[in-house]
Structure 1
Amino acid sequence: MEKKQRIIIFFSLLLILFASLSLIFGLKQTSKSPLPNATATVFFHGYGSSKHAEEQMANYLVKHKYASSIVVADVDFQGKVKFTGNLAAKTKNFIVEVNLQNNKSANNMTYSQSSNYVAKVLSGLKKKWKINNVNLVAHSMGNLQVIYFIKNHGDSKKYPKINKLVAIAGHYNGIIGMDEPKETNLEANGKPKMMNDTYRDLLSVRNTSPKNIKVMNIYGNYKNHGDGSVNNNSSKSLRYLVQKRAKSYEEQEIRGYGAQHSRLHENKEVDQILLKFLK
């Protein structure tokens, strides 16, 4: 009898151990169930940054019930994407925090080349979960990668459809002290009076960007009509590129201490605008 009890206890312990290991390793893997009706809101960080710059905004969206889960997309230098995190079978909205190993790609790639990272993440979402719809949120350098993705692949059925685009601190027509034109003023229709090389290269977006994207453009007026790194008119020049084909285009100016370039993604006002726009 004692031998039988020992056998039962032994197998019970094995079962508990197996269940524990399954839980531990399960947390490291993502669900493979197709989610064709879910929408992924994908965050792209700025120069020298990481997914940590996206965490406050992502956590705010989860806390306020916009999204149910957060997935991390680690992207290596070659563009290989590894997703970690769990998604429930009936997930409706979830967050993807993109983490680029090559977080200073502006040093060794053109924006057009590094937009391939955006392409790899989006095609990965379509392949892994059959995702058909995405919202894109970008800060600083991430904006140029996103707009070049739209320039290069905006009409491709290979990628999920972009429903909404949120640009935070975008430097479409240059960075202060670097490639900003001497004249930064905009014409009445939003067209820059002077354009740098990048902006001229992006002009084709006016005729090729997907129709019916809702666009929210957030910029910081920290001092001297800029966020300390990007002139407001450089950010606002996005309007001329997308408004003709966009379903809607909005701008939100942030003021005060939290309007500085790198503090915008930690700004509660930005969190609130983001939540309202994405709902």
Structure 2
Amino acid sequence: MKKRWIGFLGIGLLMLGLSACGVSGGHSTTAKLPNSSKYEPTLFFHGWGSSYRAENQMAHALVNAGITKTIVRATVSKRGKVTLSGQFRAGDYHPIVEVDYQDSRNSSPEQWGRWAKATVVKLQQTYQAKKFNVVGHSMGNMAIMYYLRQNQANLPKLQKQVDIAGHFNGILGINDEPNRMKLRSNGQPEKMQPEYQALLPLRQTYPKNQIDVLNIYGDKDDGSHSDGSVSNALSQSLRYLVASRAKSYQEQKIMGPGAQHSKLHDNVRVDRLLIHFLQN
């Protein structure tokens, strides 16, 4: 009985010690890094039904390019609780954060945007982050866009936005068919889906002259002018929403079999574009 009581006392003291040190799940709840204003994490947002694993090649391409040595994972629960695995390293000013949505089959872009905001807030609370970059693939782009639609007062400033295979105005086989979606000369879609219409306020609220935008889309070169899931026009509809207010806006088309929708996040040409954009 005495041994059991001592064991419980030891566990209690250990937990008290961890609490006093601000440790949760082996990670500090706040991290006082020197020169915190210099840190500019890049957050990767995966697509619908996917996970952080879809982000691995791009993340490691940045590591291999010497941009960073740090990859942290931000796991977002169905209820929006964000848990960080790993930690920023002192002096490594461009860490990567692989965002992992546990409810990745949720079809609400509003919910994805709220989870994105929760992730940004978590990084601000933990590391006093003041600026950041984002990279989205497929539905991950809607997480970014619906995040930007929310109130961002007192949040870190978005510096660079990379959109890959974005279905901003629909998906082939659901509300579009190959070569059917048309854009007007100013980039406005002739027909707008409800999710796209909900983003129209960004034409007035997207941060003015703050964000550099790189829009990457795929063309399988099979006559469909699409990546197999999203037509080029659907991806290019981003321009109408943000180009007039962005600091800069550019588009890059990837051609060939490797430009298929789910292959774009593992495409070395995409890696090179991403590295060049983030380094400059």
Q: TM-score, normalised by structure 2?
A: 0.85
Q: Give the Cα separation in 2 of the matches to 1:36 and 1:77.
A: 31
Q: Give the Cα separation in 2 of the matches to 1:274 and 1:157.
A: 28
Q: 1:77 to 1:26 in 2, by over 3 A?
A: closer
1:83-232 → structure 2 map (5 Å cutoff): 83-106=84-107, 110-153=108-151, 156-180=152-176, 183-211=180-208, 212-222=210-220, 223=222, 224-232=224-232
Q: 1:221 to 1:160 in 2, by over 3 A?
A: same
Give aligned pairs, total: 251
Structure 1 unaligned blocks of 5 or more: 1-24
Deviations 1:58-83 (A, max 9, x none): 00101111122000001100010010
Task: Report deviation, 1:157.
Answer: 2.6
Task: Report deviation, 1:26.
Answer: 11
Q: Give the Cα separation in 1 of the matches to 2:31 and 2:40.
A: 16
1:135 partner SS: strand
Q: Give the Cα separation in 2 of the matches to 1:123 and 1:41.
A: 14
Contact 1:183 1:194 in 2 (8 A): no
Give 1:176's aligned amino acid.
Answer: L
Q: Give the Cα separation in 2 of the matches to 1:72 and 1:84.
A: 5
Task: Report deviation, 1:183.
Answer: 4.4
Aligned to 1:66: 67
Q: Give the Cα separation in 1 of the matches to 2:60 and 2:159.
A: 21
Contact 1:27 1:86 in 2 (8 A): no
Same amino acid, percent of matched pairs: 42
Task: Report deviation, 1:87.
Answer: 2.1
2:54 partner SS: helix
Task: Report deviation, 1:197.
Answer: 1.2
Q: TM-score, normalised by structure 1?
A: 0.86
Aligned to 2:32: 33
Structure 2 unaligned blocks of 5 or more: 1-22
Q: Does 1:77 align with 2:75?
A: no
Q: Give the Cα separation in 2 of the matches to 1:179 and 1:147.
A: 20
Structure with larger Rg: 1
